[in-house]
Amino acid sequence: MLDFIYYPVSFILWCWHKVFGLVFGEANAVSWILAIIFLTFTVRGIMFKPFVNQVRSMKKMQDFAPEMKKIQKKYANDRQRQAMEMQKLQKEHGVNPLGSCLPMLLQIPVFIGLNHVLRMFTINPYGGPKTENYFFDQAGVESYVHAKLFGVNLGDAIYTGVDMVSGGNAATGFHWYVAPVAIPLMIVASIATHLTARHSVQRQNPESATPQTAMMNKLTMYIFPLGVLIFGALFPVGLLFYWLANNGWTLMQQRLVYTRIDKEEEARKEAEKEKRANLGPKPGQKPTAPRPGQKPVQQKKNKPSSGGQVKKAGSPHGFAQTGSSAKKKDANDATAESSTNGSKENGADVPGLISDSTKKSDRKRR
């Protein structure tokens, strides 16, 4: 029914087993362990871009968390209106809530597919010897069955009784000879699960904390790792290697992506700070705006131009007087000056003296 999941998973596992089989031998357990680990890395590499989008989406949601709280408080009694306003706010900020769940949702089919493929190496639902397992032929099946790590087959589990989870060559019940190999893997996988969840919780904004998020944080930090430690007894050894590799990849990927996003955020803040500094006045620069009560600066008088035109001082339009009008003014001044000089020579302007013409006229009358 889920062949669209089983075939791709088995194909990736088959490719990596062929690669490492050339180095360590196809029947060697190391080849199968490395094939499972690199199957995990291949799937997580494909989901790297969605994971980055998930981190960016969570960062945006933390930035406008106060606005979300206001909406929740404002429409506390109207769930439908609250959901509409939340969707509107998420659309304005370009946040897709489903994007944060996509990487986790994609890992579930891979986990189910790998568990099924590993179980099908030793289980034939039609009875008889196993001749093939999706992309693996009979030689590949026999290679997996005979591959042992410290005397334990990769398909064996501590407890084999739940058909949907565990499987292997051993009969139903507890198999304590698997414990020395499985228990260390369970402990390391549990610690890696806790560290991954803790690193993610530390990135959360305290302002966006709600009772629901606090409960989820406790589940991911303590309950899930404890579940891996307990229910890991049901998983085959090969599936425990997948779980360990998956959590190890997640932890390193978080550190890498978070560091990169922090640097981008710091660079953006520095650019905005520098932009504001460039727009404002420089240190020690005098303000260009007039001070309160300061008198306006008077316009300087225009100097005479070289063409003989003179602008009138105080004229708003700066009309010029031509050279001909200036010459007429000089001629009138010269005429007035000559008449004044003539009167002075005749003695008219000298007190106590009488001109000669006046004297002659007085003699004739006598």
Does residue 201 contact residue 181 with C-beta atoms inside 8 Å? no
Looking only at the bridges linking them, the beta strands covering 320-321 and 148-149 are: unpaired
Does residue 167 contact residue 118 with C-beta atoms inside 8 Å? yes
Q: How do residues 116-164 score in pLDDT, each as one tens digit?
A: 888 888 777 666 677 888 889 888 888 898 888 988 888 888 988 655 4
Q: Poorest-confidence range of 1-10, 191-200, 264-273?
A: 264-273
Token pair, residue 284, equals 């020690």
What sign does the CA torsion over 347, 351, 353, 357 have?
Answer: positive
- Between 195 and 295, where is the model more confident? 195
Average pLDDT for the chain = 74
**In this structure, which amino acid lies at residue 248?**
G
- Between 362 and 1, where is the model more confident? 1
Q: Where along the chain do its domains lie?
A: 2-270
Q: What is the pLDDT of residue 99?
A: 57
Q: What is the pLDDT of residue 352?
A: 44
Q: What is the pLDDT of residue 210?
A: 65
Does residue 240 contact residue 197 with C-beta atoms inside 8 Å? no
Q: What is the pLDDT of residue 297?
A: 56
Q: Model-level pTM?
A: 0.66
